[in-house]
Structure 1
Amino acid sequence: MSRGIEVRVERSNFTPRGEVTENRFNILLEFEVSVPSNSYVFIGGMTRGLGSWLSSLQSKIEQHARGLKPVDENTIMREFGGLFEMQRLRGVTEFLKYGQNYAIPGSSLKGAIRSRVEYKFKLFQVGAEYRSYSCYVAQNPWPSSPTSPHVKFWGEDVIYTRPTCFPPQVCAVCDLFGCPSLSSRVHFTDALMTAGQVQYVNELRREAALPGSKFKTSVHLMNSDFSDLGLLFLGMEHFTSSPILIGAFKYRFNEKLGRERLRNRYSTGLLRFELQSFKPLLGDFPSDVISCNTLINRAREKLLEKYGNYVDIQRGVLP
C-alpha cells in the first residue's frame, strides 16, 4: 500500500444515549490495574502546589491590572513565562496525586484503550478501495515518519487518513467512546493507587509508579451490548493477557522495538487490567452470565460474530 491513502470508514447511526434500548444494558465493571514487575509507569500531574501557583499568578495579574507594574512584551515574558515554565516542569516530573492518593486519570486510561481499539481494526479491500470500521478521532494531518517508534510499533497503515466521525453516522469506536458532538457511552473513574509506591527515577528525571504497583478503577457502560464489551476488553487486552502502553517513554524502552531496557531490565509504560467484578444495572442482561470469565468469553464471541476478520486481536500485543 502506498502512503497517503484515504481509508473509507464504515459508519452507521449512533446508539442512543438517553435510554436503555431493547437487548441492551447498563453495567458497572471494577478493575485492578497493575504495573508489571518488569516496568515503570510515568503519569505526569500538576495538582501538587497548584494552589500556591494560582495565587502567584493571580497576584501578578492584579498588579498589572492596577497599573502597579508596566505592561510590555519583555515583562510578560519574564514574569508570566517563567511562572508557566516552572509549573510545566513540575507537572512533567511529578506523578499525578490527588491529596494523599497517587492516581492515573480516567481520561488517560480511556484514551490509551480507545487508541488500541482503533489500531486493532484492520483495513480491508473492496475493489481498489480500502475500508475500516474505525476512524482515528485524533490524527496528525502530517503523517508520521515511517521510522518513528509509533509507526514501527503499530504498522505503516496508522498514517493513512481515516476521517473523524460526526453524528449521526459514526464508526464502531466513536459509537462507544464518543466523538465531536457525541458523548461517550463508557466512563472511567480515576484509578487510585492501592498498593506500591512512586519514586523519582534519576535516569529520566521523573517520578514513576514502581513495578508491582496497583490501582483500582471503575468503568460504567451505558446502553451496551456484548459487542461493546468486546471492544472495551479488546482495548484492555483481556483476550491476550498482554499489558497496554500508557504514559511517557512508552516506546523508549520497548522490547518489541528492540530497545535497551531501563536499568538493563525494565520496560516503561506497561499497564495490565484485570476484571475483578461486575454489576448489571439496567436493561436486558442474561441471567446465565454470572462470572468474570463468562462475561469476557461472551464478549469475545459477540465481538468476533459482529466484526469477524476485521479486528486483529493480536495486534500490539506485548510480551
Structure 2
Amino acid sequence: MQRSPIRRSDYTPRDKKGLEGVIELQFAVVSDYLHVGSGKYDVEIMKSVSDVRQLVDEYLKGNKIPNVAQYFSRVAFLMVKEKDRVVIPGSTIKGMVRSRLELSVPGSCYIVTGQATSSSATYKRIFNPDPNRGSDRFDVDKFPQVCPVCDLLGNTGLASRVSFSDFVMTSGKVDYFNVMGRDYEVATKGSIFTGRVVYKSLNSVELGMLLYGFGFIRDCSSSKVMLLGRFKFADRKFGRVRFSLKTSPTECNKYISDFVKQFNPRNINEEW
C-alpha cells in the first residue's frame, strides 16, 4: 500500500522566541450525557462508616443492609475524580485536539495509539480519514523536518509546545445511565468543565492551529460542537461538547484567519 505524502517543514526549536501565554477555556455538555471513563467498574462509598471493609463485604455478598443507598453509589463504570471532583484528563483533551488537527490539516501525519483494528462506521462517515496516511518520525539528526501537527503537539523524541491541564467540573450534575445492562457514571447536559492550556514558542499560524483544534473554526466567540468521550459514535445522547474562551489571546480572530489561509483545513461537521 502506497502511503500518502506527509507535509513537513523544519521543526521549531523549543527555546525559540515566539508567542507564549495561557488560555483559560471551558466547555459545556450539550448532549444529554458525557462519559469519560477512569477505567474503574466499581462502587463508591458516599458516606463514612466505622467499619468500611465489613460494610463493603456485606454489600457485595448481597446481604441486606438498612438504608444501604445512603452509603454506596451504584456499581458503575466511573468517571475520573480528583479530590472528589469529576475531571476530564488533560491527555484526553489533548488527544481530541490532536485528532481534529490530524484529520483537518492536509498532509498531516496520523499518530495512532493502542491496538485498535477497526473503527466505527459513524466515525468513518463523519471524518472520512485517508486510509493511506502514514505516521511521522522525528530525529533532529536524521529527520530534521516534521509535520506541522507534530511540531505543535509533539511526537516521539519531540516535546510538545502546548501543555493541557485537566478540565474540572465546576457546575452541573453527575448521574447514572444504563447502557446494555451496565451503569455508567455521567455528567449531564449543561454541566461545565474548566481548564487551561499553556503555550510557548508559537507563531501566529500555530496559535491559530491550536484554537482551531478546539473547534474555533471562524472566530473566538464559540466553538463548533465537538465529540468527546465514550459512545459518541454510537448514541446521539452522548459525547457532544462546546468550548468557549474564558481568556482570549490578543488578536485571537486573526490567528485563526492566519492558520486557515495557510493550511486551508477541512471543516468537519461532528453533529451527526
TM-score by length of 1: 0.66
Q: 1:94 to 1:229 in 2, by over 3 A?
A: same
Aligned with 1:161: secondary structure? Answer: coil
Is 2:97 the partner of 1:113? yes
Q: 1:39 to 1:231 in 2, by over 3 A?
A: farther
Shift of 1:5: 4.1
Cα distance in 1 for partners of 2:175, 2:164 equals: 25
In structure 2, the partner of 1:78 is none
In structure 1, the partner of 2:34 is 41
In structure 2, the partner of 1:245 is 227
In structure 2, the partner of 1:184 is 160
Q: 1:91 to 1:160 in 2, by over 3 A?
A: farther
**Residue ranges of structure 2 left out of the alignment (5+ in a row):** 44-73
Cα distance in 1 for partners of 2:118, 2:176 equals: 31
Alpha carbons 2:103, 2:129 under 8 Å: kept:
no
Cα distance in 2 for partners of 1:121, 1:272 equals: 21
Q: 1:28 to 1:118 in 2, by over 3 A?
A: same
Cα distance in 2 for partners of 1:193, 1:14 equals: 36
In structure 2, the partner of 1:301 is 257
Alpha carbons 1:26, 1:220 under 8 Å: kept:
yes
In structure 2, the partner of 1:15 is 12
Cα distance in 2 for partners of 1:139, 1:47 equals: 21
Alpha carbons 1:34, 1:212 under 8 Å: kept:
yes
Cα distance in 1 for partners of 2:93, 2:184 equals: 20
In structure 2, the partner of 1:148 is 121
Alpha carbons 1:48, 1:97 under 8 Å: kept:
no
In structure 2, the partner of 1:99 is 83
Cα distance in 2 for partners of 1:15, 1:109 equals: 23
In structure 2, the partner of 1:166 is 138
Alpha carbons 1:101, 1:192 under 8 Å: kept:
yes
Shift of 1:142: 8.4
Q: 1:92 to 1:161 in 2, by over 3 A?
A: farther
Identity of aligned residues (%): 30
Alpha carbons 1:177, 1:186 under 8 Å: kept:
yes
Q: In the alignment, residue 276 of structure 1 is paired with which amino acid? A: K
Is 2:195 the partner of 1:217? yes
Alpha carbons 2:126, 2:268 under 8 Å: kept:
no
TM-score by length of 2: 0.77
Cα distance in 2 for partners of 1:91, 1:316 equals: 35
Q: 1:49 to 1:94 in 2, by over 3 A?
A: closer
Cα distance in 2 for partners of 1:46, 1:137 equals: 22
Q: 1:316 to 1:91 in 2, by over 3 A?
A: farther
Cα distance in 2 for partners of 1:243, 1:173 equals: 21
In structure 2, the partner of 1:135 is 109
Alpha carbons 2:76, 2:183 under 8 Å: kept:
no
Q: 1:179 to 1:211 in 2, by over 3 A?
A: same
Residues 131-188 of structure 1 show CA distances to partners (whole Å, capped at 9, x for unaligned) of x1x100116898747x73322221152x223232313321000000000111111111
Aligned with 2:38: secondary structure? Answer: coil
Give the length in aligned residue pairs.
232
